[in-house]
Structure 1
Amino acid sequence: MSEATGIDRLTVRTDDLELAALAWGPSSGPLALLLHGYPDSPHSWRAVAEQLAAQGYRVVAPWTRGYAPSDVPRDGSFHIGALAHDARELHRVLGGDGRAVLVGHDWGAVAAHAVAGTDGQPFRRIVAMSVPPLGAMLAHDDGRLAWLGRVGRQVLLSWYMAFQQVPVLSERSLDRLVPLLWRRWSPGLRSGVEVDAAWEAIRDRRSEVLRYYRHAAPWSRVPRRYRAAQAGVARRPVVPVLYLHGVDDGCILRDWSDRTLSVLPPGSRVETVPDAGHFLQVEQPDVVAAHVLAFVGVPDGDAERADP
């Protein structure tokens, strides 16, 4: 451990992957597993992780599969089900128990939604940030025309997803695209430290990172071992979920958050974070940490403290 920063560097071996991770807090504390998204790295969790660790959690934030210095998976899968599988494996390998919580941002949120919808999932509570559950994006309780309008505006924001299906050209553009996306998705963010850390994790793994998007659609090609976890993303969660969304998010429409609570189970919450865009854990870490701790509780206060 670095005494100056209070950060551990871990190498965690799951059933078929070696994942590098950052960790904070007492080794005896309940597990708080934090999953980053794209284009990002565990370093963006630092300010939030420090606050969770100060309350007694053992916080672990891995570089997810394919991001350097973690392994590239031998089976070549970057499907949602594979990410959810990794989260459950990390719970097992890290000695997680019934007190463990899962927090995911962006692709980490997609993985968290899949875990939340899987029977027998091991986490007490789950927090997802910046990407709502699939059910919220399919809901048209205010009419099909209004829903089509939201979808149309979201498609305009999601142009990069189509571009990243283009081989070679998209890989070559990432050195310019990564900082561009950070600027557009979080217009008020001026720090470059997290962007630099993200690029360090992506620079030599460009094709691997882009496969998160290239494997998002072909559900029929999901390896058998990940199919149950993959199905969880389309199911109603079986555990309470906190959903957080930045008011100024330039990647995912804030409008989807208005429909999120209706597709979540009892005990769930939805909160929007002012003065924050897509990377709200970097822009407003104190607010994010406060919401997370209010929902999951502190280790010496039992789960009841977090109940609404």
Structure 2
Amino acid sequence: MAPPAPPGHTRRMIHSVQTPVLDIAYTQHGPEDGPAVVLLHGFPYGPQGYDAVVPPLVDAGRRCIIPWLRGHGPTRYRDPATLRSGQQAALGKDLLDLLDALAIPRAVVAGYDWGGRAACILAALWPERAAGLVTCTGYNIQDIAAAARPAPPEQEHRWWYQYYFHTERGRAGLEADRQGIARLLWRLWSPNWAFDEATFQASAGAFDNPDYVATVIQSYRHRFGYASGDPALEPIEAALAAKPAIPVPTICLHGAGDGVGPVQSSAGHARHFTGSYERRVIPLVGHNIPQEAPAEFAKAILDLPLL
């Protein structure tokens, strides 16, 4: 049993399931036989960000599964020799492995940031496993081959933390003050969201994982070609390099106040989706849509067709 949750947050029973690479910790809510929804958090956040999203989904009969991503919370690598990689192929394969381990043939997959990337990858490469997709900020599959191409100065400024993590100073800084960096990013990325310290602390436990720093640093270095990936994942990375289209029903959410991924960045992403696709812009909301706009996030899931 998990420790008591802070006021206003859901008390949760933590489960664990074994995949080929991880012991994935997750919480589950709603009927076992309901249509499955997997809710995936981002960096630097935790599953608690979905606390207000879950109740309307459960009321609608959905089975909600909320895992801690690799390197976060009680999720653990099974083998000390496994590369502590946060590369995009790892996130997508972890989601596929989670569905396999839980014997879920198909699920709606929904997420933002790292979690949105995992959801997009599953929907692109294994669309038979995705009944629908809710993605924040659009098509989240990385174009690593083009990563060296400079972005406009304003966007380079927003990505300062990624360049910081490319250095040993940045790795040491994250090791020294995980919460301080996360709290700053929360403020910068969601400038209109007045979260309190209890809300932050409810998610901050996700950063205490012993492999958090290594996984995060590898993620931000790999996406720019500054760190090698896991050789076992190279076939998946090769498939992603082709920028595969996503054929499953999709709703894209984008906060108009997103401080790291400006709203115009997803305006042309419809070209990446060959199934039904709708983009919804949410005024004032920043990067952390499940916590800033939980009703809109839940509605997007429920508006997808039940297939």
Q: Report the TM-score range of the alignment, normalised by the length of the smaller protein.
A: 0.7 to 0.9
**243 and 122 in structure 1: CA distance in 2 versus 1, 3 angstrom threshold:** same
**Higher mean C-alpha deviation, range 215-224 or range 56-65:** 215-224
Letter of the 1:267 partner, please give it.
S
CA distance in structure 2 between the aligned counterparts of 1:19 and 1:137, rounded to whole angstroms: 27
CA distance in structure 2 between the aligned counterparts of 1:50 and 1:267, rounded to whole angstroms: 26
User: Conserved in 1, the CA contact under 8 Å of 2:47 and 2:67?
Assistant: yes
Match for residue 182 of structure 2?
A: 178
1:263, distance to aligned residue in structure 2 (A):
2.2
**116 and 151 in structure 1: CA distance in 2 versus 1, 3 angstrom threshold:** farther
User: Conserved in 1, the CA contact under 8 Å of 2:17 and 2:24?
Assistant: yes
User: Conserved in 1, the CA contact under 8 Å of 2:179 and 2:207?
Assistant: no
* Among candidates 68, 71, 79, match of residue 76 of structure 2: 71
Match for residue 157 of structure 1?
A: 158
User: Conserved in 1, the CA contact under 8 Å of 2:124 and 2:245?
Assistant: yes
User: Conserved in 2, the CA contact under 8 Å of 1:113 and 1:232?
Assistant: no
CA distance in structure 2 between the aligned counterparts of 1:224 and 1:108, rounded to whole angstroms: 22
Runs of 5+ in structure 2 lacking a partner? 3-8
Letter of the 1:96 partner, please give it.
I
Match for residue 97 of structure 1?
A: 105
**15 and 163 in structure 1: CA distance in 2 versus 1, 3 angstrom threshold:** same
**229 and 59 in structure 1: CA distance in 2 versus 1, 3 angstrom threshold:** farther
Deviations 1:261-296 (A, max 9, x none): 22211311111111311111101111221122112x
* Among candidates 236, 242, 257, match of residue 266 of structure 2: 257
**282 and 179 in structure 1: CA distance in 2 versus 1, 3 angstrom threshold:** same
Match for residue 297 of structure 2?
A: 288
* Among candidates 226, 230, 233, match of residue 226 of structure 1: 233
Letter of the 2:206 partner, please give it.
A
Where do residues 202-241 of structure 1 align in structure 2 (5 Å cutoff)? Answer: 202-204=207-209, 205-218=212-225, 221-230=228-237, 231-232=239-240, 234-241=243-250
**Higher mean C-alpha deviation, range 219-228 or range 241-250:** 219-228
Letter of the 1:185 partner, please give it.
W
Say whether 1:44 aligns with 2:49. yes
1:67, distance to aligned residue in structure 2 (A):
0.7
1:120, distance to aligned residue in structure 2 (A):
5.4
1:97, distance to aligned residue in structure 2 (A):
2.4
TM-score by length of 1: 0.83
* Among candidates 127, 130, 147, match of residue 123 of structure 1: 130
TM-score by length of 2: 0.84
RMSD of Structure 2 on Structure 1 (CA): 2.8
Match for residue 29 of structure 2?
A: 24
**27 and 6 in structure 1: CA distance in 2 versus 1, 3 angstrom threshold:** farther
**267 and 128 in structure 1: CA distance in 2 versus 1, 3 angstrom threshold:** same
**Shift >6 Å, 4+ stretches:** 135-138
User: Conserved in 1, the CA contact under 8 Å of 2:141 and 2:240?
Assistant: no
CA distance in structure 2 between the aligned counterparts of 1:281 and 1:88, rounded to whole angstroms: 22
Match for residue 270 of structure 1?
A: 279
1:239, distance to aligned residue in structure 2 (A):
2.1
**69 and 293 in structure 1: CA distance in 2 versus 1, 3 angstrom threshold:** same
**266 and 219 in structure 1: CA distance in 2 versus 1, 3 angstrom threshold:** farther
1:258, distance to aligned residue in structure 2 (A):
1.0
1:103, distance to aligned residue in structure 2 (A):
0.7
**183 and 114 in structure 1: CA distance in 2 versus 1, 3 angstrom threshold:** same
SS of match in other structure, 1:271? strand
Instruction: Give me the identity figure in percent.
Output: 26
Letter of the 1:207 partner, please give it.
A
**109 and 94 in structure 1: CA distance in 2 versus 1, 3 angstrom threshold:** same
SS of match in other structure, 1:218? coil
